[in-house]
A and B are shown apart, each in its own frame.
Chain A
Amino acid sequence: MEAAAAAAAGTGCGPGSPLLLSDGEQQCYSELFARCAGTASGGPGSGPPEAARAAPGAATAAAGPVADLFRASQLPAETLHQITELCGAKRVGYFGPTQFYVALKLIAAAQSGLPVRIESIKCELPLPRFMISKTEGEIRFGNSAELHGTKVQIPYVISEKNTFKRMDDEDKQETQSPTMSPLASPPSSPPHYQRVPLSHGYSKLRSSTEQMHPAPYEARQPLVQPEGSSSGSQGAKPPRHQASLIRSFSVEREPQDNNSNYPEEPWRITEEQREYYVNQFRSLQPDPGSFISGSVAKNFFTKSKLSIPELSYIWELSDADCDGALTLPEFCAAFHLIVARKNGYPLPDTLPPTLQPEYLQAAFPKTKWECTLFDSYSDSMPANQQPHDLNWMEKLSINDMTDFPVPTQDMTGNDKQALKSTTDEALPKDMSENPATPKESNSLKARPRSRSYSSTSIEEAMKRGEDPPTPPPRPQKTHSRASSLDLNKVFQPSVPATKSGLLPPPPALPPRPCPSQSEQGFEAELHPQLSRAPSQAAESSPTKKDIPYSQPPSKPIRRKLRPENQAAENQEPSATAGGPASAATVKPHPTVQKQSSKQKKAIQTAIRKNKEANAVLARLNSELQQQLKEVHQERIALENQLEQLRPVTVL
């Protein structure tokens, strides 16, 4: 490796002067290079895909870790620019071994005070010193070695340096949480938490006074290549740090492996953020399967106090199908971009892969669950359901992933979910400009312009649902999950509570207008009553206070109707009112014990509908009966009159 590296370095050096590396230098450089090239995939030479594409057949170091490494050398940015230019990486567009070694040598030269020239590296130099705090360095190395540049990597390095400098300024300025609009405040704590380690890392970088020990850095090398301890005894710290580093390193690796192919990055939406976004979506548009129109979204996002051009650009990034409206994943992506921007991250050039609608649909299948199970309760979510919801959500979040893609139309979200805003689910630690592969967005734009211009009707929404690349899965898939133990376990305790709360009120409410109607004097206006009936049934919030109503309403009926000598009809309304109530209370008990959740929900919906229909019909019946009585009375009166009058005429 050393011989090849030296040879390659010799041949690849720009001015043609051979690069002589001492043994210690070679070892150190090769380890550094391995780290930069292989952190993401865990192997030297494999490298990130872009680097591999850029230099097939040769190991290349990703620009991200290289940039971090260079910054850790505490050299001013101009020097680093010079070094990158000189080492030839700019020319070839990537950091191959040659360029990397030359760059390291130049860094060593610069740190020794020599001018940054090719000639200065010919002489014997001490090793370059890099100062990165251990865990953040690890995290950064682990994080940023990802899909960095599909295009040229060196400009990215420089732009990242600039952005980091800017972030640094912001770090110095802000000591409090960012000035975000209230609606965006809950996610501010995770990003704020995330910026703390970055600022901490930077404070360490900037404080060039103390800790000029390469020991933390050197200590990591045994992790990557345990056999080599480069340049010997640079510090006594390695043994102590090693355990913690190994732990942090393994922990860092694990989430990367568990999640989908994308490593941690600031463009990944965490669970809490996702819930928050969904809540906000619901506040703007009750139906999570539909869209937020452009004007509504504009008003909403303008509250975030970002500049209009930036908001315009964020919209451009997130509205993937360019229809002027945001579906739920588009909305989440836009919101996430706004949050990131408020926290100082520069906006990417293209939509990062973790924010694209297909990915968002696939990555959060649990919202599909909320739809199927809580659809029937969507208008009435009592406070007592929230603990159940949370338990259930947590269980699902453990179980989820690797699942079927979820349609956006079915996502009802969890509007009553308590937002876990204070937990430490931070945004991923590293900020990385992530020009993701643009092919997906291009393919979306390249499709034929079969757009409908009104996005409000349900049919449009359904049509729109067909356009995004992932077709909605069949609902049967939910059945397979429905039989999972978690759902049944959690669902059943919640069901009786909801059942008891939900079912009695609807039949209880309808009888109430009857006594009031009869008091008003039998003006049988069917239409107002009918309209009142559905509204009263719909507004049935199954809180406990409605349950006692099941008893009093029936009594006034009997009391008030009896004085009118309509004993027979008294029984009817109360019977019809009591009938649905008793039938309904009897009905749910058998259904609770058996069946899957989907059938339960369907049955509950059907039950409720039937009850409402029952109530309406019962009231209608009672009013018609009253009308009939009146008419009868009139007829009797008229017949009496006729008989009284007739003998007169006859005679």
Chain B
Amino acid sequence: MAVCVAVIAKENYPLYIRSVPTENELKFHYMVHTSLDVVDEKISAMGKALVDQRELYLGLLYPTEDYKVYGYVTNSKVKFVMVVDSSNPALRDNEIRSMFRKLHNSYTDVMCNPFYNPGDRIQSRAFDSMVTSMMIQVC
């Protein structure tokens, strides 16, 4: 269901981006890039209070005809962007939230690795497998 998952660093460059249909990958990259504007907009609108988990989840950023883009930002301004297929109507908000939570947990695990320098591309296999499971689970 999640056709593309991206982790964007604070400086708005991608730490990890992966799409399931490997063709047309550039399109997803572009969508993620454009969604960053929306993310910034939502962050600035939210103000200073970002402690609550509920506010970490940004919700639907914008829908297109085929896809919907959801966003999530961590306290360190690392953004998770997920592009999902619009054709699945039963995808509830809760499921998206849980997917983001899993992403956040895996990201934390990656951070805990002392050999990982923040700002590097994420090459953790555990993270990869988690994202794969998220992408394939609905397909």
Q: Does B138 contact A (CB under 8 A)?
A: no
Contacts of B115 in A (CB 8 A): 298, 301, 308-309, 311-312, 315
| Alpha-carbon gap, A308 to B123, bound state (A) | 11
In the complex, which residues of chain A have a beta carbon less than 8 angstroms from the beta carbon of B116? 312
B56 to chain A, nearest CB (A): 14
Bound Cα distance from A324 to B115, whole angstroms:
10
Complex Cα spacing A313 to B113, Å: 9
Q: How far is the CB of A176 from chain B (nearest CB, A)?
A: 28
Contact across chains for A316 and B124 when beta carbons are under 8 A apart: yes
Q: Give the residues from 298 to 314 in chain A that come closer than 8 angstroms, CB to CB, to chain B.
A: 298, 301, 308-309, 311-313
Find A349's partner among B105, B112, B113, B125 (CB 8 Å cutoff). B125
Beta-carbon contacts under 8 Å, B98-139 to A: 105, 108-109, 112-116, 123-126
The reply to whether B112 and A312 form a contact with Cβ atoms under 8 Å apart is no
Those of A433-465 within 8 Å (CB) of chain B: 445, 449
Indicate if A475 sits at the interface (CB-CB under 8 A). no
Question: Contacts A309-B123, A313-B125, A349-B125 given: A319-B112 contact, CB under 8 Å?
Answer: yes
Contacts of A322 in B (CB 8 A): 108-109, 112
Tell me how far the C-beta of B22 lies from the nearest C-beta in chain A, rounded to whole angstroms: 20
- Distance A322 CA – B105 CA, assembled complex (angstroms): 10
List, in ascending order, chain A residues with CB within 8 A of B125's CB.
313, 316, 349
Contact yes or no, A312 B109, CB < 8 A: no
Cβ proximity bits A323-358 to B, threshold 8 Å, 1 near / 0 not:
110000000000000000000000001000000000
What's the Cα separation between A294 and B117 when bound, in Å? 12
Chain B residues closer than 8 Å to A324, beta-carbon distance: 112-114
**CB-CB nearest in chain B for A323:** B112
Which residue from chain A places its CB closest to the CB of B111 in the assembled complex? A324
Given A309-B123, A316-B124, decide whether A297 and B114 contact each other with a Cβ distance below 8 A: yes
Kindly state whether residue A295 has any CB partner on chain B within 8 Å: yes
Task: Find chain B residues with CB under 8 A from A297 CB.
Answer: 114
Q: Give A294 to B112 CA distance when docked, in angstroms.
A: 8
Interface residues of A in 265-323 (CB under 8 A from B): 294-295, 297-298, 301, 308-309, 311-313, 315-316, 319, 322-323
Q: In the docked arrangement, what's the CA distance between A548 and B114, Å?
A: 51
Say whether, besides A322-B109, A445-B109, A316 and B126 are in contact (CB < 8 Å). Answer: yes
Of B105, B112, B115, most buried by chain A (CB within 10 Å of CB) is B115
Residues of the A chain whose Cβ atoms lie less than 8 Å from the Cβ of B123: 309, 312
Nearest Cβ on chain B to A434's Cβ, whole angstroms? 15
Contact B105 A315, beta carbon cutoff 8 Å = no
Residues in A whose Cβ lies below 8 Å from that of B113: 294, 312, 315-316, 319, 324
What 0/1 pattern do residues 56 to 75 of B give for CB contact below 8 A with A? 00000000000000000000
Chain A residues with CB below 8 A from B109, complex form = 316, 322, 445
Docked Cα-Cα span, A323 to B113, in Å, equals 8
Task: Name the B residues within 8 Å of A311 (CB-CB).
Answer: 115
In the complex, chain B residues whose CB is within 8 Å of the CB of A309: 115, 123
Q: How far is the CB of A397 from chain B (nearest CB, A)?
A: 33
The smallest C-beta distance from B40 to any residue of chain A, in angstroms, reads: 28
What is the CA–CA distance of A295 and B108 in the complex, to the nearest angstrom? 16
Q: B114 touching A449 by the CB < 8 A rule?
A: no
Please give, as numbers and ranges, the residues of chain A lying within 8 Å of B124 by CB-CB distance. 312-313, 316
A315 cross-chain contacts in B, Cβ below 8 A: 113-115
Contacts of A295 in B (CB 8 A): 114
Specify the chain B residue showing the minimal Cβ separation from A324: B112
CA separation between A628 and B126, bound complex, in Å?
72
Closest chain-B Cβ to A446's Cβ sits at a distance in Å of 9
In the complex, what residues of B have CB within 8 A of residue A449's CB?
Answer: 105, 108
- The docked-state distance in angstroms from the alpha carbon of A103 to that of B108 is 47
Do residues A298 and B114 form an inter-chain contact, with CB atoms below 8 A?
yes
Assembled-state Cα–Cα distance A273/B134 (Å): 39
State A297–B116 Cα separation when bound (angstroms): 13
Quick one: which of A308, A313, A322, A445 has the most chain B CB within 10 A? Answer: A322
Q: What is the distance, in angstroms, from A456's C-beta to the closest C-beta of chain B?
A: 15
In the complex, A445→B109 CA distance in Å? 9
* Minimum C-beta distance from B59 to chain A (A): 23
Q: Within the complex, which residue of A294, A349, A445 is in contact with B114, where a contact is CB–CB below 8 Å? A: A294
1/0 per residue, CB under 8 A from B, across A479-501: the answer is: 00000000000000000000000
Residues in B whose Cβ lies below 8 Å from that of A319: 112-113
Closest partner residue, chain B, to A306 (CB atom):
B115
Nearest-neighbor residue (CB-CB) of B123 within chain A: A309
CA distance A297 to B115 in the complex (A): 9
Q: Would you list which residues of chain B between 15 and 34 have a CB under 8 Å from chain A?
A: none
Specify the chain B residue showing the minimal Cβ separation from A312.
B115
- Contact partners of A308 in chain B: CB under 8 A: 115
Bound CA span A312–B125, Å: 10
Q: Which residue of B lies closest to A438 (CB)?
A: B129
Q: How long is the Cα–Cα vector from A616 to B112 in the complex, in angstroms?
A: 46
CB B132 to nearest CB in A, in angstroms, measures 13
- B133 to nearest A CB, angstroms? 10
* Given A295-B114, A316-B124, A449-B105, 18 new contacts (CB under 8 A): A298-B115, A312-B113, A312-B115, A313-B125, A315-B114, A315-B115, A316-B109, A316-B126, A319-B112, A319-B113, A322-B108, A322-B109, A324-B112, A324-B113, A349-B125, A445-B105, A445-B109, A449-B108
Q: A-B pairs with the 4 shortest C-beta distances?
A: A294-B114, A324-B112, A312-B115, A298-B114
- Provide a sorted-by-A list of 15 A–B residue pairs whose CB atoms are within 8 angstroms: A294-B112, A294-B113, A295-B114, A309-B115, A309-B123, A312-B115, A312-B123, A312-B124, A315-B113, A315-B114, A315-B115, A316-B109, A322-B108, A322-B112, A449-B105
